[in-house]
Structures are given as structure tokens and as C-alpha cells.
Structure 1
Amino acid sequence: METLARHSVKLCPFMQRASSSAKDVQLLRNFNMRAIAQECPVVGKAMRKRTVGNSGAARTYATASAARVTPDPASDSAVDSVIDHSTQESSFDFEGLFESDIEKKRLDNSYRYFNNINRLAREFPMAHRQLEDDKVTVWCSNDYLALSKNEEIVSVMKKTLDKYGAGSGGTRNIAGHNRHAMKLEAEIAALHKKEGALVFSSCFVANDAVLSLLGQKIKDLVIFSDELNHASMIVGIKHANTTKHIFRHNDLNHLEEMLQMYPKSTPKLIAFESVYSMSGSVSDIAKICDLADKYGALTFLDEVHAVGLYGPHGAGVAEHCDFEAHRLHGISSVKGYKTVMDRVDMITGTLGKSFGTVGGYVAASRKLIDWCRSYAPGFIFTTTLPPAVMAGAAEAIRFQRRHLELRQQQQKHTTYVKEGFEDLGIPVIPNPSHIVPVLIGNAELAKQASDLLMENHRIYVQAINFPTVARGTERLRITPTPGHTDDLSDILLDAVDDVFNRLQLPRVRDWETQGGILGVGEKNFIEEENLWTEEQLRLTNKSLNPNVKDPVIDQLEVSSGILV
């Protein structure tokens, strides 16, 4: 206010004259601009002016508050009093806004319908709908290895539930820190061969918490994000409230152009995924690490759709990059050189997909984990996962680590389905991973295709529409598991072929006439080789290092706090 007064003296002729008197100098010191303004021949006249309405009552000026205030003795009480609007206007139409926004989603066919799907533990991959005898085959679950139904894992969870109860008792700081949390974080750190790990309520929360914390705590941090990154990463980067750049999907030349804009001393972070779940595309982790080294950047890798499915022990694509070295060393770190997994600074993952339970995590250096544990609100103020969930997740990691055949079966069944669609001319967006995205290209037709599969063929595949994917690229996302054997796959292939015929959906030849899209029907498109080689698929569980069978893993000091 004092600054405002001084500027007014410089600019306003009245203020220049008024400030010369002792009275007005005192007013300036008291910052009573209202009293000074009343003396002004222009502003004072406007303030004293009354406008009389039809009722004959004087119009007054309202403030942000609806409460009445005591009139200033130096002014007209009618001017200084505040109108009580509570009885003179209608309330904002919240329900109308909600209805309007929902109607927009219905009109553009992006409105979401949830199917009542109850997956049966003893009849995987079957589920029932509202009625228990109304059964369908599930083809779109992210329970990639069907470990949510695994008897050994379920048994561990039942025993833990009976002994320790349903809930954790609070946040880790209050009452939720226990042996189950410590064991789970030790298993995660060992899986990714990192010094530490931290468990969150979900990987959405983990990504948001870690990315936002990095941006808020590291001054002048610049974040470089792949344009197809998951919503959790986008939200985290937004909450980081720092400079960001979006590079074209998997375009490392574009990424380097952006990195070159800043000195090496500027703190930087490259955020990306290993497997992009809606397209199945895979990032070149090693080359991104090369760029990070060259330009002084941290790397943040989301392995949510890769853990359990890649690498000899299910640590993800980063482990798969050095498959043979990790297979030979087993649970031990690779000696002699830094693997791709070593080079990645932060790896986030989920417990809710391949590991069959729920929750998320970040694995990194001991110092970084301790920093997140100490500062991240998304961790500090969230109730800990229940003991039974954490015990089940830890057992799932141990189980899949020594069962290489689960990953191999999943890959073989995926290949069978992809090749079957290719023979039928069904458009599948090409990729080297386990995702089977069947291109529809229209939101309304994608919904109709999903409905027909359900009602006519007892097959559940959810339609994927905007904003999960771009408009015009709507699809059916199919995810085979070890339980989707060839006989079930044949039924799926016939059913999808029938739906394409009924709805006259465009096949590969139709996309070719339009010039192609996303690798479907595109001339001269070069498809990537599958991540799993034929040699890797021929290995057996006996090919793994014996140290993965039942390893003793020490608890992490950082899980409880580092003593000094």
C-alpha cells in the first residue's frame, strides 16, 4: 500500500498538491488511501455519487464478503455498507454444469461404460457378470501372469490376514510400518538391483509423488517427457511446477534437440516408459541413458507394463536389455560393467498388474529413496497398504522370479494371436511387446464391437477411446496371459472376424488405401523384432541361476530410516 501511495504522488496532480500538507502526509504514513481519495475532486465526487433505482433505494458497493461491516465515520454509511446477496440471487447451477459436461462426453462417444466383470479365481480366465451363471472369457485384463489367482500367493495372503488383520493401522510414520513393508521393499530393490525401494498405494501415486517432489525441490529443474507418457506422469510433471518439454514419441533426435538448449550444469530429468500400454511400443532405454549421460540428466523409467514380463527374472525391459548377463548372475549384481538397469536412476513399477495385487513403488539409490521417504507428501500422508496385500506382493515377486515359463507362455500366446489376426487381415498396431491393439478408428464402432463380442460371443474386451488414445485411433486392447491357450485364442479369432464382418470395420487392405496409420497399412513400414528371441524362449527354469530359487534377502535400512 505504501508503494502504491508513493506512485500516486508521482503520477497524480492532486496527490502531488495534497502530499505537501501535514495532514495528508500523516494520511500517507497511515496508508489511508480511502480518506485521501475522498478529497480528490474526481474520485471523491464519484465516491459520493448515489444512483437511485426504481425502488428509490441507494445503490451501494459490494465487497467479496457477504457480511455487513461497520460504516466508516468519514464516509456515507450507505456507500460503505455491504449488500447481503444470499436472498437476492439464485445459486450457481452445479448440477447443470455436471449434466452439460457429461452430455458432451456422450455426444462425442467418449462416455465410459463400466462392465460388471467378476473374475473367477478357480476358472481363470473366466468371469461372471451380474448373474453367476452368465460367464464370459476375459481378454483385456492387466493381470498379465494371472498371479492374482495363484494358490501359493493367495495362501500367503490368507495366513497374513488371519494373523495381522485387514488394515495396516495408519501411515508408515504412525502405525503402518511393519515387517511386511520392509520385506516387500527389500524384494523390490533386489528385483531391480537397486540400493533401495519405497512402496506407495499405487503407481499413479508413486509417479505423481516422485516427479512433483523432484520439480519442487530441485531449483531450475527441466523435465523432458515422452508425448505418450501415462497420465500419472503427466500429472506429476504438472505438479512439479517447473519447466518441461514434450518430445515426440520415441524420437531421440527430437529429445536431443531439446536437451541441447540447456547447459550441462542445468538440472534435467528425462521421464519415459519402457512399454507403452495402449500401443505396445517400446523405448530404447540404453540410448536414452546415453543422452542422459551426455547432457547431465537423471532418468525416470516407468516399467509398469513390463515388470513380470521381461528379463530372466521379470524386472522389466531394462533387465531384458542385458538378458544373458542377468540370467547368469541371478539375483546378484552383474560384475565388470554397468548394465542398462544399473544406469537408470529411478524405476517405478506396479504391484497391481503382473504381480497380481495392488500398489506401486519406486526403486533407486539409497539416498534418493531416503529423500523421497522424508519429503514426498504422497508417501508420508497415505495409509500403508494392508499387511496381507504386501505379503502377497512380496510372494508374487519371489514366485515369478523363479518361474521363467510364465513369461515365455505369455509371449507365445501373444504371438499366436497376432499371427492369427494377420492371417485374417485384422489390423493390429505393430509392436515388439505383449500388447495386441486391434485398430478400429472410430469411438462409436469400437463400443459396438466390444458390445457384440460380449453379447454374441461371451468375450470381454474393453473398447479404448479418447482421452486414453487419440481420436481416430480407437481400438480394442487384447492382452493374452499364460492361461489363454490356443483353443481359447481360436475362439477369439473367429469372434473378432465375425464382428469385423458384421460392422464392416476396415481391415488392413482398407487402411492401405487411405495411406495407413500407426504402422497399419503404411507403405515401407519396418516392423520391430519381438523383444523375446527364439533362443530366450527355448530356455527353461533350470537355465536360471540357482540363487533365484529361494534367496535370503536382507531388509533395507532405508525402509525404517538411516541411523546416524
Structure 2
Amino acid sequence: MLRFNGARQVLSCGKRYYASAGGAAARELQQRPVEHATQESAFDYDGFIESDLAAKRRDKSYRYFNNINRLAKEYPLAHRKNEADKVTVWCSNDYLALSKNQEVMDAMKKAIDKYGAGAGGTRNIAGHNKLTLQLESELASLHKKEGALVFSSCYVANDAVLSLLGQKVKDLVIFSDELNHASMIVGIKHANTKKHIFRHNDLQQLEQMLQQYPKSQPKLIAFESVYSMAGSVADIGKICDLAEKYGALTFLDEVHAVGLYGPQGAGVAEHADFSAHLAAGSAAPAHPTVMSRVDMVTGTLGKSFGSVGGYVAASKQLTDWFRSYAPGFIFTTTLPPAVMAGAAAAIRFSKRHLDLRQRQQMNTRYVKRGLAELDIPVIPNPSHIVPVLIGNPDLARQASDLLMDRHRIYVQAINFPTVARGTERLRITPTPDHSLEYCDVLLAAMEDVFRELQLPRTSDWAANGGLLGCGDPTVPVQRDLWTDEQLQLTNADLNANVYDHAAEELEVSSGIKL
């Protein structure tokens, strides 16, 4: 019996052992990843992409890029694929045509011969060179700030600065204009902090949003000076008033304004105190100005300055902070030396040539007035942008094609997602080199296209209540930022210090030594 009981005891132990071993094996099997490689089909990547592209074609927002080769010695002419096939460019953001300026090109050629094609890497690895220092010094001087930092593009600059602020400043709340550029939207998204979006240029709504938070809570107002697709302009001074009242920093994107506004071309913030900056020249006026009240200014080297790259200008401390922490700066290869040299030359040339800005503005006025006489709808604005409302993506594409094929005029159609559906347009941007003869050819071509395609005129929009200010009698008259008096000035009216090429070298560009 004892043996039997012992056997049962041994048997029982054996069962427990095998049960335990079996449980471990079962658990091991459960923990193993299920092998699907041979049991399922792979995701249809090509099918997904094809379907998505087909949807874009169906809604008429698919874009065709034209082969446009702008000719330095004949601009605003460009040739297409065939060099004998020449067209007139009317939609470039090279607003002052400085990309083909001889001083700019000479500076780039000299730099590439001396320093080669590339920068050698990021500034953290390869360091920087004297041309970097000169460019950042020119930018800081232009905006009358203590520091400036150059990025590979203004898209990168906006993303890097806005995202850094949100990630590093605890409890920051960002207030963003609804028409802000995609780069600012992405930067605010990457900021990963609370945000409010206010109606375009609606400062009453902005103030209501600011009132929700104690003054002690960190805040940032992000906005542009000139909104490129409609040409509308922000009231920078009033936004600074709100920022000071509620304890907010200001982030101003002057991408579509630098080179074009202000006596030295620093942008709309400079233009707001035109007389004071005209008198002071490169120096800061004795009293606070709209430009001095803005905390951060971003801009581009790729539009009015005819090159490529972006930048932020701010206080020495902010600039050093961006330089030290922003991944978009730290981990991006530096712009080539020749690009730096060309951009600096363009800024210096622009500062000395008030007449460039004036000619651009006068050509813009001529085109806007001519289109109005033809009953062709232009979204009203006080800036250099001439947005011709079409209101249909297919017709906008047809209008662009007809201008190119029949009239040898290149104007790109603008559609979703750059603008809202139903507000598609042609965006015309005159330069100083678009003479009145060129303007007259454009006006005749626009009349032909509107007649051929039976596009809605201003009077047609008015009959339907108007859209975006076209045909809407309730919209106040938009006064141009440039006054008649300002357009009568000459380069001789600039302060003599504007002609001084030696901008003060910035300590912050290399790092501040304690």
C-alpha cells in the first residue's frame, strides 16, 4: 500500500512535471510571432498610389510642371524644351529679377572659383566660412536685429523655429492665421502644443482667443506680412499691440515682402515706418518701430533676392538658441559658398536700389488697372500680387494652357491644396523688367482667353453676390502700400550709410564665447 501510495505520489509528481513543462511549451508557442509571410498577399502599394493619383486627376487638382528655362540675358523671356520656343514669364517669384543681376552672378562666379561648389557638410561638422558670416550679417542689418541664421530654405526655417518653440517652451499656446503658409502649419503641428487658428486678419477674434489665457502663460502669434495667393497684408503694428498686451511673442513671415517693401527692402514691417527708416538708413531709428517690436522675422533668399535658402532674424539670444537646439539647422548641410555670396550681393544691391521696388509696383498698378478696365476679376489687395479669379480648376488649367499655346505667355494655374476649392486662380507677378509693352501684350491675351473660354467677369461675380472681394461692393477699396509720394522718391533720397558694404560681423554666427 505504501508502495502503491508512493507510486501514486511519484505518478502525481510526474503529472505535475509534465503539466508544468507542457504549460511552458504552450506559453512559448503563444509568444512566438505568427508567421504570415507565406499565408497572405503583400499590400498593394502600386494600386494604392495609382488610385490616389487618379483621384487627383479626377478633381482637376493634378499639376503639370512646365519646362521653363528663364534666360538671364533676355528675362522675362524663357525658353521651353526647345531653345527656339520662347515664352514670357509672368508668374515667377523672382520679383526683382535679381537672379540674372550681373553683380549677383559675378559674386557667385568669384566664390565658386575660390571656394568650390559645396559647403562640406553641416556647420557643426564643417564649420562655416566668411561668406556665411557676411550673409547673416547682411540679413541682421537689413531687419535691424542682433542676429540672423541661414537655413536651407524658409520652409525649413519656419518648421524648425516653430517646432522648437513648441517643444521647448512648456505650456506654449500658438495663435495662427488661417491662411498661413504650409511650412508654418507643419511647424505648428510639429510643435506638439496647444494652438488656436484665427480667421484671416481678424484681430478681434485673435484678441478673444488671447483673452482666454493668463498673461503669464507663454504665447506665440504666428502670421505673414503678405499672403502670397491673395496678396492680402497683415496689420503688423496692431498684432504687436495685442502681443504686448497679452504677453505673446511675435513670429512674422516676410517671405513675399522682403526686397519689395520699405526704403531698404526689409519688408512690410519696415514699410510701416517708411519715413523713419528712410531717414535712418541702415541704422535703427531712435524710437521704437513696428520692425523693432517684432520678435522673430523669417524670410527667403529664393524670391526677391534671386537665390535659394531661408533665414530667421531675431535677438542675439534667440538666434543663439535656434543655432544650438533646432534640428532643422543642426542636421542640414549648409548652403554652398557661392549661394551665400550671391544672396549677400543681392541684398546689398536691393538696399541701394529703391527704383527696383518702385518699378515693380508701378508695373503692378498698370496691370491691375488694365484688368479692371476689361472687367477681369482680380482679388482686391494692396500688394504686388495680381490674383485673377477663375473659380474652377479645369477652366484655370485651360486658361493657363491657352495663354501658353496661343500667346506664348506663362502663367501657372493655382488650385487645391494651395487655395481652397472653388477659388482657383491665375497668379500674375510683374517685375521691374515687365515693361508697359509687355503689360499691354498680357492684357490683350487675358481678354482673348476670357472671351474664348467664357470665363466669369467681375460683373458676373457681382450678379451672384461676389467672391473673395470680386464683384462685392461691400469690400472697402484697397489702398496700395506704396503711396504716390513714396513712388516719387529716388535712390538719391536714401541715407548714404546704405551704400556702406561692411555690415557688422555677428558674434552669434560662430557661437557666443562667455
Secondary structure of 1:99's counterpart equals: helix
- Equivalent in the alignment of 1:531: 481
Q: What amino acid does structure 2 have at the position aligned with 1:133?
A: A
Matches within 5 A, 1:258-277: 258-277=209-228
Q: Which amino acid is the alignment partner of residue 410 of structure 1?
A: Q
Match of 2:140 in 1: 189
Q: Which amino acid aligns with 2:164?
A: L
Report the counterpart of residue 444 of structure 2 in structure 1. 494
Q: CA deviation at 1:345?
A: 0.2
Give TM-score, length-normalised by structure 2: 0.95
Structure 1 residues 306 and 76: CA distance shift in structure 2, 3 A: closer
The offset of 1:528, in angstroms, is 1.8
Which secondary structure does the structure 1 equivalent of 2:37 belong to?
A: helix
Distance 1:376 1:460 in 2: 38
| Shift of residue 84, structure 1, vs aligned partner | 2.0
More displaced, 340-349 or 542-551? 542-551
1:513 aligns with 2:483: no
SS state at 1:98 partner: helix
- Structure 1 CA distance, aligned partners of 2:226 and 2:61? 24
Letter in 2 for 1:236: G
* Separation of aligned partners in 1, 2:29 and 2:441: 81
Distance 1:269 1:78 in 2: 54
Q: 1:64: which partner in 2?
A: none
Counterpart of 1:367 in structure 2: which amino acid?
A: Q
Match of 1:281 in 2: 232
Give the CA deviation at 1:77: 6.7
Partner of 1:291: 242
1:234 matched to 2:188? no
Name the aligned partner's letter for residue 375 of structure 1.
Y
How many Å separate the matches in 2 of 1:268 and 1:203? 22
- How far 1:85 moved relative to its partner? 1.3
- Alpha carbon RMSD of aligned pairs, Å? 1.5
Question: Would you say how many aligned residue pairs link Structure 1 and Structure 2?
Answer: 497
Aligned to 2:8: none
Match of 1:354 in 2: 304
Task: Choose 549-558 or 213-222, whichever is displaced more.
Answer: 549-558
* Paired position in structure 2 for 1:409: 359
| Secondary structure of the structure 2 residue equivalent to 1:476 | strand
Distance 2:22 2:223 in 1: 60
Do the aligned partners of 1:192 and 1:315 also contact (CA within 8 Å) in 2? Answer: yes
Paired amino acid for 1:397: I
Q: Confirm whether residue 91 of structure 1 aligns to residue 20 of structure 2.
A: no
Separation (CA, whole Å) in 2 of partners of 1:552 and 1:162: 22
* Distance in 2 of aligned mates of 1:273 and 1:98: 34
After superposition, give the CA deviation of every residue in 1:464-510 in whole Å (9 maximum; x if it has no partner). 00000011100000000000000000000000100000100000110
Tell me which of 290, 310, 320 is aligned to 1:340. 290
Answering whether residue 338 of structure 2 is matched by residue 376 of structure 1, we say no
2 CA distance for matches of 1:207 and 1:422?
Answer: 36
Cα contact 1:176–1:384 (8 A) shared by 2: no
Higher relative contact order (CA 8 A, sep 6+): 2
Q: Distance in 2 between matches of 1:411 and 1:457?
A: 24
Q: Does 1:206 align with 2:153?
A: no
Q: Would you say the 8 A contact 1:71–1:77 is kept in 2?
A: no
Q: What is aligned with 2:55?
A: 104
Contact 1:207/1:232 (8 A) holds in 2: yes
Partner of residue 163, structure 1? 114
Work out whether residues 71 and 80 of structure 1, in 8 Å CA contact, stay in contact via their aligned partners in 2. no
Aligned residue for 1:73, secondary structure, equals: helix
CA shift at 1:75, angstroms? 2.7
Question: Counterpart of 1:60?
Answer: none
Tell me, yes or no, if structure 1 residue 443 matches structure 2 residue 393: yes
Report the 3-state secondary structure (helix = DSSP H, G, I; strand = E; otherwise coil) of the residue aligned with 2:329.
helix
Paired with 1:264 and 1:247, the residues of 2 have a C-alpha distance of 19
Q: Write the distance in 2 (CA, Å) between the matches of 1:294 and 1:320.
A: 23
Deviation at 1:73?
A: 2.9
Q: Which of structures 1 and 2 has the bigger CA Rg?
A: 1
Which residue matches 1:400? 350
Match of 1:300 among 225, 232, 251: 251
Tell me which residue corresponds to 2:16: none
Tell me what 1:473 maps to: 423
**1:361 is paired with a residue of what secondary structure?**
strand
CA drift of 1:76 comes to: 7.0
In the other structure, the counterpart of 1:48 is none
Shift of 1:112: 1.1
Q: Counterpart in 2 of 1:553?
A: 503
Distance 1:76 1:123, change over 3 A: closer
TM-score (norm 1): 0.87
Q: Which residue identity does 2:492 align to in structure 1?
A: K
The residue type equivalent to 1:437 in the other structure is P
Distance 1:80 1:437, change over 3 A: closer
Kept in 2: contact 1:71–1:81 (CA 8 A) = no
